[in-house]
Each structure stands twice: as C-alpha cells, then as structure tokens.
Structure 1
Amino acid sequence: MIERLVTHPERNARQSLAAVIERARHRCAAFGMDLDWSQAAWDVTKHCPPPANKARSRSVLYFTTHEGGTSKSLDGRTPLAEPFGSMIKAMIRLKQDGSPQTMDPHARII
C-alpha cells in the first residue's frame, strides 16, 4: 500500500516574505550596509557606476510607480505600496549580493 506524504509548511506566505525582507534589509551588504531602506530612491552610483558610454552621471533606482511619469527625480512619483515595495527592494538587493551587476537589469525589474 502506498502512503501519501502529507507535509506541513513551517511558514505561511506572509512569514516567508517577512523573512526574506528581513534578510535583505539587515543581513545583506549589497549597495552598502548604510543603505536607507525606507527611501523610494536608492542612489547606487558607488556600487553600480554608469558605463562610460552612458550620458547619465548617477545610478538611481526608483521604487515608484510610473503614474507620475519617469522624471529623473521623485517629483510626481508614487512610492510602491507595501509590502510589494519591500519585496521588490529585497529581490533587487539579494540579486545584487549574489551576482553584482550594473543598474540597468535592476531598473528593468522595477
């Protein structure tokens, strides 16, 4: 007779998300340990310098919606709603920690 394996997840989805965010926020060094997590715009120029052939002089990741346009500042932008905003920040920071890269792949995710 075949017995059916019944597993019990140790965490639910909210607990798992909270654990990932906690790890990215407090135990990840990508973009520096002094990164201000609560900001809707992260200046990551020091860690992701723009390529020499790009016109921009800074690398800034905007964790905002595109409702207010895509201006080069936070003016008119709306920060991503929580917990979605923190999940995206965690994903970007952990991705950078595991495989450092330029800002462009991160900006496409956001």
Structure 2
Amino acid sequence: MNPIDGNALLLAAAKASVGPQLLPDLVEHVQADLGPRLEDYRRRYELVAEDDEACVFFVEAGHWDDLRDRLDLDRREGDAVERAHTEHLRRVGSVNDRRDEFETALDIREVVVVGKEG
C-alpha cells in the first residue's frame, strides 16, 4: 500500500535523485515498516492530518536518519522517500489551507506519513 498522494509522489520523483520507477517501491518498503507502528506514532507524535488512507505526523528532526538506518536505505533513497512524505504534507496543507503553517513547522520538524492498513 502506498499512502502518498499520487501528485506528491510524481513531484517528489521529478525532484529525486532516484529513478521515478523506483520511488513507489521505496515508499512501499518504508510503509511496510511504518504501518505496524501506527499506534506508536499516534502515542508519540503530533497528528496533523488524517483521512481514510493515512495519518500525517510531525516528528523530531533526525527521524528520517533513524528510518534510513533501520531500513538500510542509502542517502539518495532515504532522501527521495522523505521528499515524497514532505510533498504529501504540502498537498494536504494546500487542500486544507494550512500550507503556511506546515511550511513553518518543517523548519524545525520532519514529517512522516503512515498508511492505515486493512
């Protein structure tokens, strides 16, 4: 399952230093790790958006470094997936008229999108 908005994924793929055919697989690989941790994310982090498909959380700076290490992603791969999660947040912010708020928060925090399983 890929919880990232399709347009956000396309934008991230255009900016990423990995091939656009690889990014969806990387996002799914990360989701396979994050999905079972959804309740932990709900307890530990600020939920900023939720819909039927996914939850969007602000997490501490450095969180993506930990994810890269845990999932054995190289820097390029991890950056591409992180960019996809960030672009998803920006899309959500635009739709909900919260983009400025989210952009300000991104100065000090990172974002993780966790898909809902089932």
TM-score normalised over the length of structure 2: 0.27
TM-score normalised over the length of structure 1: 0.29
Q: Report the structure, 1 or 2, having the larger helix content.
A: 2
Relative contact order higher in (CA < 8 Å, ≥ 6 apart): 2
Larger Rg computed on CA atoms: 1
